[in-house]
Amino acid sequence: MIQKLTATDIISTLREVASDQKAHIEELRQLDAVLGDGDMGVTTELGSRAIDEYLSSTDEKDIGKLLVKSGMNFNKASPSTFGTLVASAFMEAGKASLGKRELSVEDLIAVGKGAVDGIKKRGKAEIGDKTMLDSLVPAVAVFEQELAKGTEPKAALNAAVKAAESGMKATIKMKAKHSRASWHQEDSIGVQDAGATAMYYIIESFVRHLIFYTGDHS
């Protein structure tokens, strides 16, 4: 069973997440080029590198501050629309955990909801608008629902990943309502959203490494 997460666990997990994003840079660039300006791959690369550099040198023990500063560093390195939204997710997630040196599994719900709120506030989007929220919102909702049913944390986390994947794939049939993608109107239907794809990869990596660092190998 997953125990409480320390700042060290969070740092290790987020550094792994940042490293994993390198494998998706070209895919994100290509997806973004269809409906956007094609810079999401570069944004992800620069932002992830900035997070890793920050986390590799910090001795911060307040998990909330770790998340807030990670978001700030991501945005500083990649001040694009996507970078700002990712930063907002990190920063609001951090606000939901300020002052905490450990996180329980239940605390992860608050962190996830904080990330959702950050994106909604900054991007003025909702689920169904063909954005990264279409991956993130279902993941947080399913995780909370599974825990409420008494599902073991590892299974609840894996269910969240599946929900994020389903949400990502659901964007293929959606019409974009925000950013450059919305300029394409009906032509945006049939294309998987780059932001939702990027968010899915972040969630999948976070869960995979979170389980590892908390010693849950079963």
Q: What per-residue confidence (pLDDT) applies to 217? A: 45
Rounded Cα distance between 130 and 194, Å, is 9
Query: What does the domain layout of the chain look like in residue ranges?
Result: 5-213
Q: Taking Cα atoms as reference points, which of 112, 11, 97, 102 lies closest to residue 52?
A: 11
Q: What per-residue confidence (pLDDT) applies to 65? A: 98
Put simply, whether the predicted model's pTM sits higher than 0.75 gets the answer yes
Q: Are 121 and 163 in contact, with CB atoms under 8 Å apart?
A: no
Q: What per-residue confidence (pLDDT) applies to 184? A: 46
The tens-digit pLDDT sequence of the chain (218 residues) is 457 899 999 999 999 999 999 999 999 999 888 866 678 889 999 999 999 999 999 999 999 999 999 999 999 998 888 999 999 999 999 999 999 999 999 999 999 999 999 999 998 888 888 999 999 999 999 999 999 999 999 999 999 999 999 999 999 988 776 554 444 455 558 789 999 999 999 999 999 998 766 555 44
Burial of residue 43, with CB atoms counted within 10 A of its CB: 0-12 exposed, 13-18 middle, 19 or more buried = buried
CA atoms within 13 A on the CB side of 140: 21
Burial of residue 120, with CB atoms counted within 10 A of its CB: 0-12 exposed, 13-18 middle, 19 or more buried = buried
Q: What per-residue confidence (pLDDT) applies to 175? A: 77
Rounded Cα distance between 213 and 194, Å, is 28
Write the pLDDT tens digit of every residue in 20-54: 999 999 999 998 888 666 788 899 999 999 999 99
Q: Which residues contact 139 (CB under 8 A, 6 or more apart)?
A: 112, 160, 161, 163, 164, 167, 203
Q: Say how many Å lie between the first and final Cα of the chain, rounded.
A: 9
Q: Are 194 and 27 in contact, with CB atoms under 8 Å apart?
A: no
Q: Which residues contact 118 (CB under 8 A, 6 or more apart)?
A: 85, 88, 89, 90, 91, 92, 93
Q: In the CATH scheme, what is the code of domain 5-213?
A: 1.25.40.340
Instruction: Provide φ and ψ at 44, rounded to 5°.
Output: -65, -45
- C-alpha angle 61-159-149 in degrees, rounded to nearest 5: 90
Q: What per-residue confidence (pLDDT) applies to 178? A: 54
Residue with tokens 């660039």: 29
Q: Taking Cα atoms as reference points, which of 104, 111, 112 lies closest to residue 135?
A: 112
Rounded Cα distance between 180 and 67, Å, is 28
